[in-house]
Amino acid sequence: MFTLTKKGFETKNIVPYGNMFLIGNGHLGYRGTLEEFKKKELVGLNIIGFYDQYKDKWRESLNAPNPFFVHIKTKDISFSVLDTKPISHTQSLDLKRAIFKRYTEFEQITIQSERFVSQVEDNVLCMKYQIICKVDLELDISIGLDTAVYEINGPHYKSKKVHSNNKKVEFVGITNEDKFLHMKTCYSFPKRSTYINENGIYKVALSAKKYKIYTFYAIAKLSENQMLNSNIEIAEKLYSKYKEEHSKAFKSLWEYSDIEIAGNKEAQFNMRYSIYHLLILGNKNYKTSIPARGLSGQTYKGAVFWDTEIFLLPFFSYTNPSIARSFLEYRIRTLTGAKAKAKEYGYEGAFYAWESQETGLEACSKYNVTDPITNEPIRTYFNEKQIHLSADIIYALEEYIKITGDESILLEGGLEMAFEVAKFFMSFAKKIGSKFHILDVIGPDEYHERVDDNAFTNYMAKYAIEIYMKYAKKLSMFDCLLEKCAHFIEHLYLPKPNRKKLIEQFTGYFDLEDATVDIVRSRLRVPNEYWGTENGVAYPTRIIKQADVITLLCLLNSEFDKETIKANYNFYYPYTEHGSSLSASMYSITGFQIGKKKEAFEMFMKSAGIDLSTNQKLYAGGIYIGGTHPASSGGAYMSLIYGMAGLKIIEDKPILEPNLAKGILSLQFKIKIKEKAYCIKVYKDNSYVVEVLK
């Protein structure tokens, strides 16, 4: 139950398998492509937090050259799955140890390989590549550093220098922003092979004997903006050492991360696969946050969204708090950028970037989608109107403190951050009569832009200001706004449940066309057309992209009674298109809590299995949006612990209200709450046991 295996090769699966078999360590991500692939097949070694901009194109994270390129051929045959149909082909991913493997059998040779990105040394990655011939063959093998880098908005390297000697390749790339990437790669070849060097690619001649195993090794080390001082020597012992250290370190991460599900093998595997994708995001040495597409590439500019705070932080807070803290430290470090954005738009305080890179300045453009028919850019307002992110960050700060008890982060910038966010919302709001209104915004449902009094935004703004007030009073710091804040939240307009207990998503939502998802889909001119913006097919209707009011009821669950939650779930569920991977988990959590177990379980499986599908949504309005979905993985974790297990923290202790789905016999997981560790077991009769671990 800890191995992902796919058999057979089809070209249509190259891109989804690249995502599916991703390996990484929170600093580097290497896509699950095959060694003979090149940039056309989207080979990607992505570097988190390292950005560049080419001319007026989107600024995005960088891909490094591929150190693991291998292509085998004879005089007549190319042993690449792109050129020659294999007899059999298998790709696998060891989830417990984060090691990728491939096995490909051709008529005359068999190829097997494995690779990993070190969990111990965060800038090291290693490969072992083996050939077994069925007959004696004269092989020509190309192995080395492929500097033809796949890029979405490049070229990002204005210069590339390659020096190679004695099976070692050194690369220095200078970016358009005058940063540099230094990479050292070492290779080892089988004995009695000969080779020549062609600018980083070694041409190896091998007289291969029948049934003899020939092994190649490659180890690469990267550094951004700092030259690597030490040399790396390649040897089987060095590879084995790195592999043993990495395997041990990664396996140890599962101790507090695993969730055991009895009664449904598919659910068990999907959950563990999701946990794997969460685990490869963490890095104790590399202090940054997590982009929306994780380590899988340059999609969405490699930028950080609200996904991290709302969907990823709970998992790490319960299992590895130091990494959860680093996500908040990133927001504290980028407070200057958020304040600069607020000032640019004429507001006070901190207006956090919808798409944030290393400085916190806004990376989101005015035109984020294109018309798939005319290819003309379409104006979107995400950068100006997605203001709820600032509140989401303060919500995450409070969740982290509630789970870990670590209030020291408040004195290290957390309270100042909350102070600046409170200032921002009060300067953004407009007073109309006796009430403050938050106008002209975009909520989580991005199909409806520039709406007034979005319920999610208004309630989250109020909550963020209350968190600021709570800690400003407690610590007697940054407390100059307290009186103004109290007046503001007392008079802030909050959409209340109507007589049917429904909360209007935004002013005028109930007046929109009462259409179905299928009807709206039938109005698309082409499948990749974007549903949103004022000319989008969903805009005049009640059809929404993702959970909006339901996300509010999920995050601020204790502020609403169960009847209100149930009424809104039943109302909004049919109108939700789930065009975002963030949507399913919110409905899953809420569904379990109100007894909609069948739908809730379906939404959990959708969330947990999204990156196991080869039928992924790769384009939105002509823009490539492919890659992994770490927020969906985090949402799957939340679906089980908050939804199915019904976990709540009351007086610093775990209290459960279980809602196990049909067929699930038991759940078992470990969590940490305020430096105490617990093992929780939930049974099919909804009884449970909480064991305090030593």
- E-assigned strand segments in 265-380: 367-370, 377-379
Distances (CA, A) of 161 to 43, 65, 69, 171, 184: 20, 12, 18, 6, 12
Q: Estimate the crossing angle of helix 455-475 against helix 415-428, to 10 degrees.
A: 140
Distance linking the first and last C-alpha atoms of the chain: 28
Catalytic residues: 446
Sign of CA dihedral 311, 316, 317, 318: positive
Rg of the Cα trace of the chain? 26
Contacts of 121 (CB under 8 A, 6+ apart): 221, 242
Rounded to the nearest 10°, the torsion over CA 319, 323, 326, 331 is -60
Q: What is the DSSP string of 207-226?
A: EEPBT-EEEEEEEEEEEESS
Contacts of 408 (CB under 8 A, 6+ apart): none
434, with CB counted inside 10 A (0-12, 13-18, 19+), is exposed
Residue 347: DSSP 8-state: -
CA 54 vs. chain centroid, Å, equals: 24
Output 77-81 pairs: Cβ under 8 A, ≥24 positions apart.
Answer: 77/106, 77/108, 79/36, 79/106, 79/108, 79/109, 79/111, 80/36, 81/9, 81/34, 81/36
Alpha carbon distance 13, 10 (integer Å): 6
